[in-house]
Chains A and B, each alone.
Chain A
Amino acid sequence: MSLMEEVIAAVDEMPPFPQVVHKAMQVLSEPEYEVSSLVDILKVDQAVTANILKLCNSAYFGLPRKVSSLKEAVVYLGADQLRQLLLSGAASKIYEKPNEGYAVFADELWRHALATAVMAQVLRRHLRLKIDENMIFTAALLHDVGKVVLSAFVSDKYRAIEPLVESGERSFQEAEKEILGFDHAEIGAKIAEKWDFPPAIIAAIAFHHEPFRSPKEFRLLAELVALANNLAVMVGYGTGVDGLACRGHGLLLEKLKLGERDMEELLLLFQIEMEKTCDIAGVGNG
Chain B
Amino acid sequence: MSLVTVGIADLKVSNNPEDTLVTYSLGSCIGLTIYDPMAKVGGMLHYMLPDSSINQEKAEKNPAMFANKGIPLLFKQCYKLGADKKRMIIKVAGGSQIMDAAGTFNIGKRNYAILRKIFWKNNVMVDGEDIGGNCNRTMYMQIGDGRTNLKISKRGMVEI
Contact = CB atoms under 8 A, between A and B. Distances in A.
B33 interface: no
B99 interface: yes
26 contacts: A165-B154, A234-B27, A234-B108, A235-B29, A236-B29, A241-B154, A243-B134, A243-B135, A244-B98, A245-B98, A246-B98, A248-B99, A250-B104, A260-B110, A263-B107, A264-B50, A264-B107, A267-B48, A271-B8, A271-B9, A271-B48, A271-B62, A271-B65, A284-B5, A286-B7, A286-B24
A268 B60 CA distance: 13
Given A166-B154, A171-B99, A243 B8 contact: no
A240 B9 contact: no
Q: What is the interface of chain B mostly: helix, strand, loop, or mixed?
A: loop
A284 B5 CA distance: 10
Interface of B: 5-10, 23-29, 46, 48-51, 54-55, 58, 62, 65, 96-100, 102-108, 110, 133-136, 153-154
A172 to B, nearest CB: 10
A233 B62 contact: no
For the complex of A and B, list the 8 residue pairs with the smallest distance between their C-beta atoms, beginning with the closest.
Answer: A286-B7, A236-B27, A248-B100, A250-B104, A243-B153, A244-B134, A236-B25, A239-B136
Contact of B54 (A236, A254, A264): A264
Interface in A231-286: 231, 233-248, 250, 253-254, 260-261, 263-265, 267-268, 271-272, 284-286
A244 B48 contact: no
A104 interface: yes
A104 B153 contact: yes
Tier of interface size on chain A:
35 or more
Given A237-B25, A244-B96, A250-B100, A286 B8 contact: yes
Contacts of A241: 153-154
A239 B105 contact: no
Chain A CB within 10 Å — which of B48, B50, B55, B104 has the most?
A: B104
Nearest to A253: B104
Contact of A247 (B50, B51, B99): B99
Nearest to B28: A234
A115 to B, nearest CB: 10
B54 A238 contact: no
A233 B27 contact: yes
A256 B116 CA distance: 31
Given A166-B154, A236-B26, A267 B107 contact: yes
